[in-house]
Structure 1
Amino acid sequence: MKLIIQIPCYNEAESLPITVAELPSHVPGISCIETLVIDDGSTDGTAEIARSLGINHIIAHRQNLGLARAFETGLDAALRLGADIIANTDADNQYPGRYIPELVAPVLAGKADIVIANRQIEHIEHFSPMKKLLQKLGSWTVRTVSGTDVPDAVSGFRAYSRDTALRLNILTNFSYTLDTIIQAGKQGLIIKSIPVETNGPIRPSRLQSSMWHFIKAQASTIIRLYAFYEPLRTFSYIALPFILAGLVLWGRFFYAYFNNTVNQFIQSVTIGTGLLLVGLLIFLFGVQADITSKHRQMTQETLYRLKKLELKQQKQTEDVP
């Protein structure tokens, strides 16, 4: 059983040695542990530091593509390197490496497809009350949208089974954390969480330039993914106010009609009809999008099978003497 610990990095030359030093050398049930660093266009010599630390595999982007793309690159590389389980951690030493055995244990036992560390936000001292509130609100929103029970949705300390990694396709550019949870929930994958303590911050977060930027980016991701996986429901929600408003105006007209004051409310028919037509058109867009989403599901399943076949052929080629 092979475990690959992947670490996406962007200018982490100072913190990477601390992170790597905490990684376990032995995990129960795992016969081989390898490390993988994805250098996302760093300019501070992160790749050179990684080599000096004895990292097994290093992949470098020629320019900074963002955390989501770095994670996707790592996932693809880990699969090609024969990983049975992939653990992902941050290079800023936020997550103690000693928890990795606990993180991979449910996957190893076949009890989970994904395991996500719960940082227990309420106990993190350097988080402001506002940040704690927003984190909890965001996690609740993701749980509602995805149909999962993940207490800490933006935690990047995770473990994935090989089959799960084959099924995931990163659709956003900002962060993979919400993307993968919503995908997993819609595909019926099993997600479990384990409580962890976190290390103190070494540097400010590079993922968010400000609290407002973070909220806007995460909200945009949730809305887009929800619309992607639930198009009919999304368009129905948008159409509903127009349809209700149109029905109210038509009701107003009929009330006036039966009370012999119809001429005073003839505009209700015109405006109400317009609103009903707009609502109906939006709903029909949702029907069309829902049909398209069924094709997307078939495409996703085809892609999963193709990736699985490709890796199988790669292994057979490598096994040929």
Structure 2
Amino acid sequence: MKVFVQIPCLDEESTLPLVLATIPEAIPGVDVIETLVIDDGSSDRTAAVARKLGVTHVLSHTRPLGLARSFRDGADFALAHGADVLVNTDRDNQYPQERIGDLVQPILAGEADIVVADRQTSTIEHFSPFKRRMQAFGSTVVNKAASIDLPDAASGFRAYSAASLMRLNIVTDFSYCMETIIQAGHKSIASIPIVTNEKTRESRLFSSIWQHIAKSASAIIRSFIMFKPHAFFGLLGTVLLLLGLIPFVRFLVLAAMGDGAGHVQSLIFGSALLVGALFSYALLIIADLQRTNRVLMEETLEQVRILRFGQGGTSHDDVRGS
């Protein structure tokens, strides 16, 4: 049983040693633990520091490609090197690496495909009350979209079985956290509570909480439309249909009372809403066809990965561009 611990990094030469120092050297039920640093085009000595500290593998991007791309490349690299479980942790030492053993146990026991650490965001002191509420709201939305029950869906400290990674297809550029949970909602997902470490620096994923909300909302909506188009366009079309019938009913009632003249605007407004409903249902049909094609493509992707990663690789360093 081989566990890969991957750390996506961008200019983290100062915090990377803190992360590596607390990664466990042995885990019950695990034969091999290997570390992987994905250097996302850092301008500092992140890659050199990683090698100096004995990181097993260093995967380098020639320029910054984003967290989602770093995760995807790291997952492919781990699969190619025979990983049975992939653990993703943050580079700013936010997460307690000593809990990696607890994080992978549900997968080793066959109880889950994915395990997400619950940061218990309501207790994190450096989170503002507003940020705590938004974290809770975001998790609620993702849980509804994926039909699961995770207390902290935005947590980046998580473990994946090799089987769960084979079919995972990430298309967003901002963050993989929300998308992978919505996409993998049909799989077995577990959660364990953790206590985060003290804050080492401000987040570099976004410049303000509002930018974070906007990008997260965009990722959630996009994933929701991709994976559950019936719930989105079906609901939208039904709402527009019901609203569009109200002006027609109003016009008919007024006409029956002999006061229909002068209320043609109700018919115009109702017709516009009904056209909107028609477009929504048309988009539903198109999105459903795309969903069917995506499922077939993901099944093909899974088979390709099984063929590609069956033998694994041997190189310890890799450099990739765009």
What displacement does 1:33 show? 0.8
Matches within 5 A, 1:31-46: 31-46=31-46
Q: For structure 2, which runs of at least 5 residues remain unmatched after alignment?
A: 316-322
Which residue of the partner structure matches residue 213 of structure 1?
211
Q: Answer whether contact 2:81 2:314 (CA < 8 A) is retained.
A: no
Q: Answer whether contact 2:80 2:313 (CA < 8 A) is retained.
A: no
Which amino acid counterpart does residue 296 of structure 2 have in structure 1?
Answer: M
User: For 1:54 and 1:266, how far apart are their aligned partners in 2?
Assistant: 77
Which residue of the partner structure matches residue 193 of structure 2?
195
Which residue of the partner structure matches residue 98 of structure 1?
98
User: For 2:54 and 2:3, how far apart are their aligned partners in 1?
Assistant: 16
Which residue of the partner structure matches residue 124 of structure 1?
124
Matches within 5 A, 1:1-321: 1-185=1-185, 188-312=186-310, 314-315=311-312
User: For 1:221 and 1:76, how far apart are their aligned partners in 2?
Assistant: 22
Higher mean displacement: 115-124 or 9-18: 115-124
Which residue of the partner structure matches residue 319 of structure 2?
none
SS in structure 2 at match of 1:273: helix
SS in structure 1 at match of 2:198: coil
What displacement does 1:302 show? 1.4
SS in structure 2 at match of 1:264: coil
User: For 2:124 and 2:313, how far apart are their aligned partners in 1?
Assistant: 48
Q: How many residues align?
A: 315
User: For 2:191 and 2:314, how far apart are their aligned partners in 1?
Assistant: 37
Q: Answer whether contact 2:68 2:175 (CA < 8 A) is retained.
A: yes
User: For 1:246 and 1:206, how far apart are their aligned partners in 2?
Assistant: 45
What displacement does 1:292 show? 2.1
Q: Answer whether contact 2:6 2:35 (CA < 8 A) is retained.
A: yes
User: For 1:13 and 1:101, how far apart are their aligned partners in 2?
Assistant: 25
What displacement does 1:101 show? 0.6
What displacement does 1:176 show? 0.8
Give the number of the structure whose residues are more often helix, by fraction. Answer: 1
Q: Answer whether contact 2:106 2:115 (CA < 8 A) is retained.
A: yes
Q: Answer whether contact 1:5 1:88 (CA < 8 A) is retained.
A: yes
Q: Answer whether contact 2:81 2:312 (CA < 8 A) is retained.
A: no
Which amino acid counterpart does residue 264 of structure 1 have in structure 2?
Answer: G
Q: Answer whether contact 1:19 1:93 (CA < 8 A) is retained.
A: yes
User: For 2:281 and 2:5, how far apart are their aligned partners in 1?
Assistant: 45
SS in structure 2 at match of 1:110: coil
SS in structure 1 at match of 2:138: helix
Query: Percent same amino acid at aligned positions?
Result: 46
Higher mean displacement: 235-244 or 275-284: 235-244
TM-score by length of 2: 0.94
Superposed CA RMSD in Å reads: 1.7
Which amino acid counterpart does residue 174 of structure 1 have in structure 2?
Answer: F
TM-score by length of 1: 0.94
User: For 1:274 and 1:16, how far apart are their aligned partners in 2?
Assistant: 57
User: For 1:76 and 1:4, how far apart are their aligned partners in 2?
Assistant: 11
Q: Answer whether contact 1:253 1:265 (CA < 8 A) is retained.
A: yes
- CA deviation string 1:267-311 (max 9, x = no partner): 333332333123212212212211221121111111111211222
- CA deviation string 1:144-195 (max 9, x = no partner): 111111111111111110000111111211011111100110xx10110111
Report the CA distance shift for 1:288/1:200 in structure 2 as closer, same or farther (over 3 A): same
Which residue of the partner structure matches residue 318 of structure 2?
none
Q: Answer whether contact 1:39 1:46 (CA < 8 A) is retained.
A: yes
SS in structure 2 at match of 1:282: helix
SS in structure 2 at match of 1:33: strand
- CA deviation string 1:52-91 (max 9, x = no partner): 0010100100111111111111001000010001111111
Higher mean displacement: 290-299 or 240-249: 240-249
Which amino acid counterpart does residue 126 of structure 2 have in structure 1?
Answer: H
Which residue of the partner structure matches residue 320 of structure 2?
none
Q: Answer whether contact 1:252 1:265 (CA < 8 A) is retained.
A: no
Q: For structure 1, which runs of at least 5 residues remain unmatched after alignment?
A: none
Q: Which has the higher contact order (CA 8 A, sep 6+)?
A: 2
Q: Answer whether contact 2:145 2:224 (CA < 8 A) is retained.
A: yes
Higher mean displacement: 235-244 or 291-300: 235-244
